[in-house]
Chains A and B, each alone.
Chain A
Amino acid sequence: MTHPIQLQGQSFQMHFSGALFWVEKSMLLISDVHLGKISHFRKYGAAVPQNAVQQNFEAMTMAIEFFKPTKVVFLGDLFHSSLNKEWELFENWVNTITSEMILVSGNHDIISPLKYEDIHITVISELVLDSFLLTHHPEERDGFFNFSGHIHPAIKLSGLGRQSVRLPCFYKTESQMILPAFGEFTGTYTLEPCDGCEVFALLGDSVLPVPIKEVKKKRSFRKKSI
């Protein structure tokens, strides 16, 4: 279900849903939910199945019930676009949650902060906690470890027999961790592993550290003659 990781002497739990739990602070980080995306598409005449709308709320509830955090911090792109009727569903959902909620706003978050304030969600541009910096866009800042989203990271795994699989992942470098996109119908962007980075893939019901293998360069068949 979860996978533990120590960062700067603090304990964290990566959840298979894509959420990250900060144990000492009892804080749950969720990135890129893109609520309202399905409704947005439908409003513009693209008939994405409506039933999928509920999935985002159910998954958030499940992660919150699992960790019972005092705070929930959304790392941006909570809503995909301008107000639509999914906002009402969101309001109803917020009423069922007792944790305090903060939105670190992202490029998609164009809904007025006042609307969020009405339902007691604080909107800020970034959050600094001890030596941690929480932002939507990945950021390098001296002396800080950065949590971010925005990228929707995924990783490609390869094996013998020309096999390969792409999975959404937590992508950690020395001073950064990029969270996977939490929302349904959001898509991913495949990142290459880098020197000294660690990758944790989401498997649907678990989180798996991905082994990273160094290879020289792509093998290629040389032209053979008979």
Chain B
Amino acid sequence: MNREELFNIAENWFQEQQWKPFKFQKDTWKAFLQSKNGLLNAPTGSGKTYALWFPIVLNYIKKNPDYKTKHKKGLKAIWITPLRALSQEIKQSAERVTSDLGTQMTVGIRSGDTTTKERVQQKKQMPDLLITTPESLQLLIATKGYDKIFKDCSAIVVDEWHEILGTKRGVQMELALSRIKTISSELRIWGISATIGNLEQARDVLLGPESKALKNSVLIKANINKKITVKSIIPKKMETFPWRGHLGLHLLEDVIPIINNSKTTLLFTNTRSQCEIWFQKILEKHPEYAGEMAMHHGSINKETRVWVENAIRNEGLKAVVCTSSLDLGVDFAPVETVIQIGGPKGVARFLQRAGRSGHQPGKESIIHFLPTHSIELIEASALQKAVKQNTVEDRMPHLNSYDVLLQYLTTLAISNGFYPDEIYKEIKQTFCYQAISDDQWRWLLNFLVMGSQSLQSYDEYKKVEVESDGKFTVTNRGVAMRHRFQIGTIVGDVNLAVKYQKGGYIGSIEEFFISKLNKGDVFTFAGRNLEFIRIKEMTVQVKNSTKKTNKISSWMGSRLTLSAQMSELLRNELYSSSEPLENQSAEIRALAPLFVRQRRESIVPKPSEFLIETFKTRDGYHHLFYPFEGRFVHEAMGSLLGYRISLLSPITFSLAFNDYGFELLSDQLIDIQQVLDNDLFTIDFMLDDLQKSLNATEMARRRFRDVAIISGMVFTGYPKKGIKMKHLQSSSQLLFDVFRDYEPDNLLFQQAFTETFEHQLEEDRLRLSLERIATQDMVWKQCEKATPFSFPLITDRMSREKLSSEKLADRIKKMAALLMKK
């Protein structure tokens, strides 16, 4: 069949649905059928799944003209999704295409939810189209004879590539693709990405820089312009609106009319605990919503989530309180309105959430922004601008992730085994390892085989062995089994299943939260009050309780930060507070009382000013700096400045950061004049000082935890076998100390530092910020008491960093162990 005939099949199908294919869909079909690779830039709900399912099926039809009567078995295409919750939806659209076109193609899912029985069946006979996650793809590569599975695979589609790109799962994808490219001669690689700042780079990473695949590729943009309206919920009485906080419950009543005025409203919260609290509180205040409101987050059991998703589609719900669990995939036509509670910390995410509403083509998306504290109104105002200007941030890919590479090499060793020369050529083609040196490669191979760089006596290290022909394999079944459990690069706290004593799964919860509970304690989870009975084999046993409680289940979650573009918008909004009223947004105008208070003790900085505030409370001496550059830059700048000050004289700091500024808290007063006179904000020796400050803080230590787990140095335990995280936690911490003392040149130990540098401290942004600060006038305000700007920082007790140049013995002289009196 020629292309025209194939296209006719597709277009007829669209006509039957009374749809018309978009240009981007047809472009994608064409490029795919021309054997091209590519990246498709299309938002959720635009029909992106049909853009790629169709050519996959058409390609099969082309090669098998008797497709209606005969079925040529074997894997034809793999669809990768970051969230296994989405696989069902993707399967449905795929099956619709395969069956409507009269093919006999089968569609299967393979993820953490797939039963062993199904897995075994799949192993015998793979479905034609397989929907899976990056981790499950790795697990496929970990099976013996995996090359036969992929031999005739004609396409791999990586959905939501923007979500995976900046993570180590992205690196896992790069590695898997590098292998399958070699095995399958006909492979096309396609990515689907929402709009991000570095789309071109996203394509490079997916296909491999300077690879043949990249040369034979296209970038297709959907260009679906959607009208998005952002409305801020402005507190009626600014005077009583809090200076800090992250819940936003003060504005609960303002949400009610919004919910009432639309068919279905999604309320996005930033954390799962916030989601639980909002759900609880709305029902408490407005019991009339009972039965019409639901909650959706990643730790609720799958059945409930699916039920909620279906109920949204069937217009059965008035409101759903959710987290990022509803960010991706799934089309919900009835959703008319979206409310974002608290700063979304990124324009791309905000746009994506806004896009959840008004799904029909041509309809406008409305998103309400609900600030959780005063200063967030500035963010609200900046978001409005960002949406107008279409400012979107970059997703930064990883480089030289030795931990993921070691995991991958072990994976290859437990399945077919590998020859280093062959694999080295493949990984050199990837973005992540394009700059790896021969020496580093040799180091990694030694590490796999000997657990060190030279053979030592009395050592019984066992992992990968080298056969006489040079093939690297794992022969020990225990090593192989432990590694299979370990595959996956998303490292989180250990999750325990929450179940009723009599049975019945409710959801999963992080061990860190449960460890704080005693028998008989009542906590709220998944909208229910539950009494904690005991932990048994990784299961939390509970029973229903009628007791009231203020313990609400919480999850650590990852911290988010403002992008460079967002930070700039934010600063500009802040500066506008000094301008005439007509130049101010409604949000900034509403903040007038806060600015008055701020000016009473201090100033609201102008573009030419850099504000420093100092004051004393019973906690100690507070020194506050406001670059307005986003959390990560502040972490870097705070560490850098703290380190430089600590060189002047022995001192210890506790550091706090947020998106607006940072605090150095100490038991001693810092002379700010001395800081300014010594030019401690200089760019000179920035890198060197930053590196040294890293050793003085604990940031790299925390990064090391993930590296140690991914590279297989710390074993996370068998699921449901009761090997707990506590053991692992301490051992990755202990491991860090042992490496620091005995093997500081270990590449994995070094990686913890490089990663902190590249992914957390954002060295480049720090440099630009310091350059900007150099042009500003330093304004040092010695205040009597805390200012509104300082308040969220000085009250942050959770996520503090330490830095010290004092001798331990000297520090301890000023300390005591605290005995809590009841």
Residues of A within 8 A of B (CB): 38-39, 42-53, 84-86, 88-89, 155-165, 167, 184-188, 192-195, 199, 201, 203-204, 206, 208, 210-219, 221, 223-226
Contacts and interface: CB of A to CB of B under 8 A. Distances in A.
Considering residues A162, A214, A225, which has the most beta carbons from chain B within 10 angstroms of its beta carbon?
A162
A204 to B, nearest CB: 7
A187 B243 contact: no
Contact of B816 (A38, A52, A157): A157
Given A50-B459, A162-B654, A193 B818 contact: yes
A32 to B, nearest CB: 14
A225 to B, nearest CB: 5
Nearest to A223: B242
B819 A86 contact: no
Interface of B: 238-243, 245, 447, 451-452, 456, 458-463, 478-479, 482-483, 593-594, 597, 618-621, 652-654, 665-668, 712-715, 730-731, 733-735, 737-739, 741-743, 746, 788, 791, 795, 797, 800, 802, 808-809, 811-812, 814-822
Contact of B808 (A194, A203, A215): A203
Q: Is the interface of B mostly helix, strand, loop or mixed?
A: mixed
Given A44-B478, A85-B460, A162 B742 contact: no
Nearest to B474: A45
Given A44-B478, A45-B479, A158 B818 contact: yes
B816 A84 contact: no
Contacts of A226: 238-241, 243, 593-594, 597, 788
A43 to B, nearest CB: 4
Contacts of B619: 160-162
Contacts of B242: 223-225
B661 to A, nearest CB: 17
A186 B733 CA distance: 11
Contacts of B621: 161
A46 B654 contact: no
Contacts of B742: 49, 51-52
A116 B461 CA distance: 25
Contacts of A217: 820-822
Contacts of B668: 161
What are the 6 tightest A-B residue pairs by CB atom distance, in nearest-first order? A161-B620, A47-B451, A159-B815, A160-B667, A161-B667, A157-B815
A163 to B, nearest CB: 6
B812 A42 contact: no
Nearest to B479: A45
9 contacts: A42-B459, A47-B447, A157-B812, A163-B802, A163-B814, A185-B737, A193-B819, A215-B821, A226-B241
B817 A213 contact: yes
B811 A159 contact: yes
A66 B630 CA distance: 54
Contact of B738 (A48, A188, A224): A48
B816 A210 contact: yes
A154 to B, nearest CB: 11
Contact of A203 (B240, B737, B809, B820): B809
A213 to B, nearest CB: 4
Contacts of B741: 52
A49 B743 contact: yes
Given A158-B817, A159-B816, A225-B240, 12 more contacts: A38-B738, A50-B461, A52-B741, A156-B818, A161-B665, A161-B667, A165-B811, A165-B812, A193-B818, A199-B817, A224-B242, A224-B791
